[in-house]
Structure 1
């Protein structure tokens, strides 16, 4: 017994799964590239490498949030009809922001620990 629209729903789920796998692979490639850059000895030293890495990560999060915002606005205008892609972009944006917030919290905690050791 086939329920109406089931194969279309399965195809959408499979397409979303494929898109998630592609994004995961892209993130892994970025991570490997970042690790390779971090392993190269740089002229500016580790502080510059860390600052550059942090700046690049923040720019990536900003780009993800902008893309999510743009997709949501396009959906509201009726230009994008796939609500699943819009929701996926929103979730990705939220996860990226939450991860950035956690990194900030860890950096602040480490900074405070260092200040306590000096005094």
Structure 2
């Protein structure tokens, strides 16, 4: 049953459950940002010892890209009438938006750190 068009407590419980999941993910992203860890919007698996910063950054960007591609696919499928669950489409769009925003914040921090390093005297 579609949680948006569902009548009764079952549909409402599903919507409330989705809302709680979004709030929990938002809180987790906020904690990562406050801790100073690079937040990509998607939890990145731990890299092996030889992975390095570049591999970690590339993995995070790939995950953000995958999230945006999934969002675009779901939106297009909804427009074609193949997907009828608007909540699923909106959750995917919100997830990709949060991931992209976190990526922009990470880019801004990296750029700021680079500029600060370049201003240092030798």
TM-score norm. by structure 2 comes to 0.70
Equivalent position of 2:60 in the other structure: 57
Please identify runs of 4+ aligned residues in structure 1 that moved more than 4 A.
none
Equivalent position of 1:106 in the other structure: 109
Q: Which runs of 5+ in 2 are unaligned?
A: 1-5, 26-42
Separation of aligned partners in 1, 2:81 and 2:92: 16
Separation of aligned partners in 1, 2:106 and 2:100: 10
Equivalent pairs, count: 101
Q: Which runs of 5+ in 1 are unaligned?
A: 25-29, 43-47
Structure with greater contact order relative to length (CA < 8 Å, sep ≥ 6): 2
Task: Tell me how large the CA RMSD over aligned residues is.
Answer: 2.9
Larger radius of gyration: 1
Q: Does 1:10 align with 2:49?
A: no
Separation of aligned partners in 2, 1:52 and 1:7: 46
Bigger fraction of residues in helix = 1
Separation of aligned partners in 2, 1:63 and 1:90: 12
Q: CA deviation at 1:5?
A: 1.6
